[in-house]
Amino acid sequence: MKNDCAIFLQWALPQMKMRWAGFRKVHKQVCKRIGRRMKTLNLHNFGEYQSWLTTHPLEWEVLDGMCRITISRFYRDWAVFDFLKDEILPRLAHEATLEKRPLRCWSAGCASGEEPYTLSLIWHFVFKEKFPKLDFQIIATDVDAQLLERAKIGCYTLGSLKGLPKPWLAQAFSVKDNGYCIHSCFGKNIEWMQQDIRTSFPTGMFDLLLCRNLVATYFEPALQVAIYNQMKSVLRPGGVLVLGCHEKLTERLEGFSAKVEKLNMYEMSANPIFFHDP
Q: What is the pLDDT of residue 248?
A: 82
19-33, 202-216, 243-257: least confident range: 243-257
Beta-carbon contacts of residue 133 (< 8 Å; ≥ 6 apart) = 97
pLDDT exceeds 50 at position 119: yes
Place 269 in a pLDDT band, splitting at 50, 70 and 90: confident
pLDDT exceeds 80 at position 278: no
Report how far residue 176's alpha carbon sits from residue 76's, in angstroms, rounded to the nearest whole number: 23
Higher pLDDT, 273 or 112: 112
Q: What is the pLDDT of residue 2?
A: 55
pLDDT exceeds 70 at position 271: no
Residue (of 91, 67, 25) closest to 198 by Cα position: 67
Q: What is the pLDDT of residue 277?
A: 39
22-26, 76-80, 210-214: least confident range: 22-26
**pLDDT (tens digit per residue) in 49-107:** 999 999 999 999 999 999 998 888 999 999 999 999 999 999 999 999 999 999 999 99
Percent of the chain whose predicted confidence (pLDDT) is above 70? 94
139: β partners: 106, 191
Give pTM, 2 decimals. Answer: 0.90
Residue (of 153, 119, 112, 148) closest to 136 by Cα position: 119
Q: What is the pLDDT of residue 272?
A: 44
pLDDT exceeds 80 at position 273: no
The C-alpha torsion from 205 through 206 and 210 to 211, rounded to 10°, is 10
**pLDDT (tens digit per residue) in 158-190:** 999 999 999 999 999 999 887 999 999 999 999
Q: What is the pLDDT of residue 270?
A: 66
pLDDT, averaged across the chain? 91
Query: Per-residue pLDDT averaged across 197-207, rounded?
Result: 95
191: left (phi over 0), alpha (psi -120 to 50) or beta: beta
